[in-house]
């Protein structure tokens, strides 16, 4: 089915980026997964080709396009199973904080090289004892003259090993909850800032995920992003796009799982005929294909509304939980159709099954998504 939200320029961009992925990303995914990290050099190549700022202003080195260009990048990387190269985390989740709330000096110092691929950015929200409840963060940033002294620990931080810059969520007023939260830009090499181990995960193995530690880490006051006490508001303003990114990637991953499974069942023989000839196979895939089309139509509707600048917090919360649950179910059903081969690591469907597990957890758990939806419905 033709997706009407994309115009001719978008399609040309997709073809161009797909060639890049086929030439420089896909051949390396297995090695990157084995290493547990992608080389910084591929980020630099992404920047050189203009793929880290398609939706960012030309004044800072971006291409000035709409968010659909970034959605194309997410889809093509997800379809290639290049989950190790989470460009959306860098470009669509982290950089909007710099672009929206950074000073001109901060943009020159961090945003310009980030778009060029010279400065990889992570955002550190989650702590060992604080996940979806951001108001419960314990990391502190206490003002001391022209510095903030940061103390605390973060965990499950994507791009935690590769990042040159980390947006740290911390309490500048520890006795307050939401109004005590601020965002600080902590640079690689700052004394007192240490990276922990690259965490081993059951999925997304090539995407570096780390513990971060701050021990009397002295950060220049000029690295405060926005104003003190405004961090929670800034985080809430940007979560709509973050959760939409999850839905976009989920749907592309679902498409890949289905495509591979459709090809497999037409070739795999059982009882003297392809397993595609059995009614159970037909019914299962007919159901999953239908749900894919429904999910893609809703995600495209969200993309169009987001590009128009609409406030769709309730709807993206719906999209995030529904598409991520669907991805997990599709991966499981498709793996079952592969039989014993689906349980073998050499078959990519097994990777789909593992990689799908986290989608319902990060960017706000699906349980939190349902709380948001219920509140927007006037319930509680």
Residue 136 scores a pLDDT above 90: no
3-state secondary structure of 123: strand
pLDDT of 132 reads 74
pLDDT digits (tens, 9 = 90+) for 256-266: 999 999 999 99
Do 49 and 153 share a structural domain? no
For residue 86, the number of C-alpha atoms closer than 13 Å in the C-beta half-sphere is 29
Q: How far apart are CA 284 and CA 49, in angstroms?
A: 41
Instruction: Give the pTM.
Output: 0.96
Q: CA angle, 338 as apex, 336 and 342 as ends, to 5°?
A: 85
In a domain, 1, yes or no: no
Q: How far apart are CA 154 and CA 135, in angstroms?
A: 14
Where does a domain end: 93, 119, 145? 119
pLDDT digits (tens, 9 = 90+) for 287-314: 999 999 999 999 999 999 999 999 999 9
pLDDT of 375 reads 96
Do 316 and 184 share a structural domain? no
Do 85 and 131 share a structural domain? no
Q: How far apart are CA 122 and CA 165, in angstroms?
A: 6
pLDDT digits (tens, 9 = 90+) for 71-125: 999 999 999 999 999 999 999 999 999 999 999 999 999 999 999 999 999 999 9
Portion of the chain with pLDDT greater than 90, in percent: 96
CATH number of the domain enclosing 104? 1.10.540.10
Secondary structure of 182-224 as H, E, C letters: EEEEEECCCCCEEEEEECCCCCCCCCCEEEEEEEEEEEEHHHE
Long-range pairs for 30-35 at CB < 8 Å and ≥24 separation?
32/84, 32/85, 32/206, 33/84, 33/205, 33/206, 33/351, 34/205, 34/206, 35/206
| pLDDT, mean over the chain | 96
Which residues, 6+ apart, have CB-to-CB distance to 99 below 8 Å? 56, 57, 60, 107, 111
Residue 130 scores a pLDDT above 80: no
Where does a domain end: 88, 119, 150? 119
pLDDT of 1 reads 61
Please give the average per-residue pLDDT across 145-163, as a whole number. Answer: 97
Q: What is the total count of domains within the chain? A: 3
Do 344 and 242 share a structural domain? yes
Q: What residues act catalytically?
A: 242
Do 364 and 250 share a structural domain? yes
Where does a domain end: 169, 201, 229? 229
Q: How far is CA 213 from CA 78, 125, 221, 244, 318, in A?
A: 31, 13, 19, 30, 34
CATH number of the domain enclosing 127? 2.40.110.10
pLDDT digits (tens, 9 = 90+) for 8-58: 999 999 999 999 999 999 999 999 999 999 999 999 999 999 999 999 999
pLDDT band at 277 (very low <50, low <70, confident <90, very high): very high
Do 179 and 246 share a structural domain? no
Do 34 and 56 share a structural domain? yes
Question: Which of 148, 114, 121, 120 is CA-nearest to residue 222?
Answer: 148
In a domain, 2, yes or no: no
Do 239 and 210 share a structural domain? no
CATH number of the domain enclosing 321? 1.20.140.10
pLDDT digits (tens, 9 = 90+) for 172-186: 999 999 999 999 999
Do 324 and 286 share a structural domain? yes
Do 174 and 98 share a structural domain? no
| 108: containing domain | 8-119
């Amino acid at each position: 089915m033709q997706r009407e939200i994309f115009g001719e320029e978008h399609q040309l961009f997709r073809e161009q980026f797909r060639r890049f992925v086929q030439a420089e990303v896909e051949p390396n995914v297995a090695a990157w997964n084995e290493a547990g990290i992608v080389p910084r050099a591929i980020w630099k190549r992404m920047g050189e080709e203009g793929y880290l700022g398609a939706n960012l202003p030309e004044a800072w080195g971006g291409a000035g396009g709409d968010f659909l260009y970034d959605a194309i990048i997410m889809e093509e990387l997800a379809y290639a199973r290049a989950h190790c190269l989470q460009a959306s985390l860098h470009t669509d989740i982290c950089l909007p904080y710099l672009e929206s709330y950074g000073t001109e000096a901060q943009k020159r110092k961090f945003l310009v090289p980030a778009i060029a691929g010279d400065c990889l950015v992570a955002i550190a929200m989650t702590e060992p004892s604080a996940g979806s409840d951001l108001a419960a963060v314990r990391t502190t940033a206490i003002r001391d003259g022209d510095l903030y002294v940061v103390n605390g620990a973060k965990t499950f931080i994507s791009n935690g090993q590769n990042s040159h810059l980390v947006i740290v969520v911390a309490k500048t007023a520890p006795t307050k909850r939401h109004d005590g939260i601020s965002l600080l830009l902590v640079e690689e090499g700052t004394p007192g800032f240490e990276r922990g181990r690259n965490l081993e995960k059951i999925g997304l193995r090539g995407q570096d995920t780390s513990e971060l530690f701050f021990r009397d880490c002295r950060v220049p006051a000029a690295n405060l992003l926005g104003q003190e006490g405004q961090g929670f508001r800034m985080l809430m303003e940007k979560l709509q796009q973050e959760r939409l990114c999850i839905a976009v990637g989920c749907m592309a991953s679902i498409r890949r799982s289905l495509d591979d499974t459709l090809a497999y069942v037409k070739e795999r023989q059982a009882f003297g005929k392809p397993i595609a000839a059995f009614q159970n196979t037909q019914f299962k895939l007919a159901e999953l294909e239908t749900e894919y089309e429904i999910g893609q139509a809703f995600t495209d509707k969200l993309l169009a509304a987001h590009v128009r600048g609409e406030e769709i917090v309730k709807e993206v919360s719906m999209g995030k939980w529904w598409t991520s649950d669907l991805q997990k179910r599709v991966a499981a059903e498709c793996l079952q159709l592969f039989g014993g081969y689906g349980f073998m690591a050499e078959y990519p469907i097994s990777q789909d099954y593992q990689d799908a597990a986290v989608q319902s957890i990060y960017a706000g758990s699906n349980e939190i998504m349902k709380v948001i939806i219920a509140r927007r419905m006037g319930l509680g």
